[in-house]
């Protein structure tokens, strides 16, 4: 049953949308505009919605003429057979508590943030599976994979996807009971409960009765907390066996969760574990452009090399990418009223966030690739492309090695700079160069010459 004001509002808005569509179809848009204007649900009593309308006449007309249409629309929008009663503003009993307090509630401060949706989640190879799995879960909670387990480093969209799942479920079915909570709140609630703060209603009972979809964020925080973990195990089992959907995020894959019970790790692995990787350059650029648009700016305001610079420099963490963008917008457009943002302005604005040398040589990975390609008379796109001839492959491995040694770039990011190669390919390439360097003087000469050029 919807409880909070925003849930009730959402339920009514979804119903109104249906009602409007039907009246519009019957050429009765005017009826809708006049009789439903400013209507809202004051409260829900049992299965009856108390709908406040804007006049006594509206209450009478809706009751006598449009009730069936209204009830069927509510049914379609919410999946529930509600009844309705129409009242006017002055019949609302002010001061009466709108809903019954049934003992202490758990997780009172946790709610879905409506800002994060599937619509504003940009996909690319690095996050596509996590996105697709989330989408399927939102369409079919409890039916497909349980639990869905999403893991990645920080700032790559886990929380965003959890909210998106919750928001999508609530949009399709406003009465479904979705709980989003960071695992740290689970610890808090468990501790309060275990200290006898609330004796008559168990936390487990709360999950049984009040949660149909559990979205729990950053589960790694439970590591080593034996009692909380045991309790979470019970919650998990309870939800799982009754077919309730569980979605978990973590900074590690299930098998690598240190300080966790084996039985929990096993449960976590048995559904669908999926990772999100750092975005490749094109995806990180697309995310950046989407964020720029969401700020109400045209992306033409930014020079292309600014976009590329930001996308490549901050691709390992989208939160940092957003931070850099916000700072840049703040110090240029807001503080100086600039209408166009150049690379110079960017370097000045972000000087605290990036090391100056790295900034001057902007797109460092790309620069190494360009210099290595040039040295061997290839084009950079031959190095980043699919060509597997021995010469090109060797040059590519040298580029990997130099990026790693000169810039200390993570393997996955080296792989994406070199056209989307994976972590393992990059490691193997670098190992090859390292072992060649021990035995092959001409390789040593080339690497030294390239290093000198790049420094």
Distance of closest approach, residue 185 Cβ to ligand ADP, in angstroms: 15
Q: Is residue 219 at the binding interface for ligand ADP, with CB under 6 A as the rule? A: no
Taking CB under 6 A as the criterion, the residue among 63, 322, 366, 436 binding ligand ADP is 322
Round to whole Å and give the CA distance between 386 and 233.
Answer: 47
DSSP 8-state assignment for residue 263: H
Closest by Cα among 316, 269, 310 to 292: 310
Select 159 or 409, whichever has its Cβ closest to Mg ion.
159
Q: Is residue 180 at the binding interface for ligand ADP, with CB under 6 A as the rule? A: no
Binding partner of residue 160 among ligand ADP, Mg ion, none, CB cut-off 5 to 8 Å per kind? ligand ADP
Q: Where are the beta strands (DSSP E) in 129-267?
A: 148-151, 178-182, 213-217, 245-250
Closest by Cα among 149, 166, 188, 399 to 274: 149
Binding partner of residue 127 among Mg ion, ligand ADP, none, CB cut-off 5 to 8 Å per kind? ligand ADP
Select 316 or 364, whichever has its Cβ closest to ligand ADP.
316
Longest dimension (CA), the chain: 95
Taking CB under 5 A as the criterion, the residue among 159, 245, 315, 409 binding Mg ion is 159
What are the Cα distances from residue 45, in Å, to 48, 56, 158, 176, 434?
A: 5, 21, 37, 18, 73
Q: Are 285 and 265 in contact (CB under 8 A)?
A: no
Q: Which residue number has the CB closest to ligand ADP?
A: 157
- Which x/- pattern over 111-150 shows residues binding ligand ADP (rule: CB under 6 A)? -----x---xxx----x-----------------------
Binding partner of residue 453 among Mg ion, ligand ADP, none, CB cut-off 5 to 8 Å per kind? none
What the block records as the tokens of 339 is 């209408």
Select 221 or 370, whichever has its Cβ closest to ligand ADP.
221
Kindly give the interhelix angle for 226-241 and 203-210, rounded to the nearest 10 degrees: 30
Q: Is residue 277 at the binding interface for ligand ADP, with CB under 6 A as the rule? A: no
SS3 content of the chain, % helix, strand, coil (to 5): 60, 10, 35
Q: Is residue 309 at the binding interface for ligand ADP, with CB under 6 A as the rule? A: no
Binding site for ligand ADP (CB under 6 A): 116, 120-122, 127, 152, 154-160, 287, 318-319, 322
Binding site for Mg ion (CB under 5 A): 158-159
């Amino acid at each position: 049953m919807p409880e909070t004001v925003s849930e009730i509002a959402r339920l009514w808005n979804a119903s109104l949308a249906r009602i409007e569509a039907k009246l519009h179809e019957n050429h009765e848009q005017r009826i809708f505009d006049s009789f439903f204007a400013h209507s809202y649900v004051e409260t829900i009593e049992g299965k009856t919605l108390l709908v406040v309308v804007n006049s006594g006449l509206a209450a009478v007309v809706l009751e006598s003429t449009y009730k069936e249409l209204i009830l069927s629309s509510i049914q379609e929008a919410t999946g529930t057979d509600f009844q309705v009663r129409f009242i006017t503003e002055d019949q609302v009993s002010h001061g009466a508590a709108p809903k019954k307090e049934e003992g202490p509630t758990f997780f009172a401060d946790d709610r879905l943030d409506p800002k994060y949706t599937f619509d504003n989640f940009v996909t690319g190879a690095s996050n596509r599976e996590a996105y697709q799995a989330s989408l399927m879960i939102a369409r079919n909670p409890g039916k497909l994979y349980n639990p869905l387990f999403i893991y990645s480093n920080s700032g790559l969209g886990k929380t965003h996807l959890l909210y998106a799942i919750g928001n999508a479920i609530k949009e399709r079915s406003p009465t479904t009971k979705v709980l989003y909570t960071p695992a740290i709140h689970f610890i808090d609630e468990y501790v309060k409960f275990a200290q006898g703060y609330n004796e008559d209603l168990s936390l487990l009972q709360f999950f049984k009765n009040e949660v149909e979809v559990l979205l729990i964020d950053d589960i790694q925080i439970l590591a080593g907390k034996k009692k909380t973990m045991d309790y979470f195990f019970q919650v998990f089992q309870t939800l799982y066996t009754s077919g309730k959907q569980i979605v978990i995020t973590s900074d590690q894959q299930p098998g690598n969760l240190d300080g966790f019970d084996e039985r929990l790790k096993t449960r976590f692995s048995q559904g669908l574990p999926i990772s999100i990787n750092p975005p490749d350059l094109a995806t990180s650029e697309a995310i950046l452009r989407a964020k720029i648009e969401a700020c109400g700016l045209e992306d033409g305001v930014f020079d292309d090399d600014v976009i590329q610079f930001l996308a490549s420099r901050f691709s390992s963490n989208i939160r940092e990418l957003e931070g850099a963008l916000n700072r840049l917008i703040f110090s240029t457009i807001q503080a100086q009223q600039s209408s166009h943002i150049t690379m110079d302005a960017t370097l000045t604005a972000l000087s605290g966030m990036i090391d100056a040398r790295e900034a001057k040589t902007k797109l460092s990975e790309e620069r190494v690739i360009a210099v290595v390609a040039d040295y061997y008379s290839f084009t950079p796109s031959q190095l980043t492309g699919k060509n597997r001839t021995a010469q090109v492959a060797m040059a590519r491995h040298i580029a990997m090695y130099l990026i790693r040694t000169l810039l200390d770039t993570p393997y996955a990011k080296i792989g994406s700079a070199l056209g989307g190669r994976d972590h393992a390919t990059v490691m193997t390439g670098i190992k090859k160069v390292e072992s060649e360097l021990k035995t092959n003087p001409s390789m040593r000469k080339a690497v030294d010459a390239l290093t000198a050029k790049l420094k």
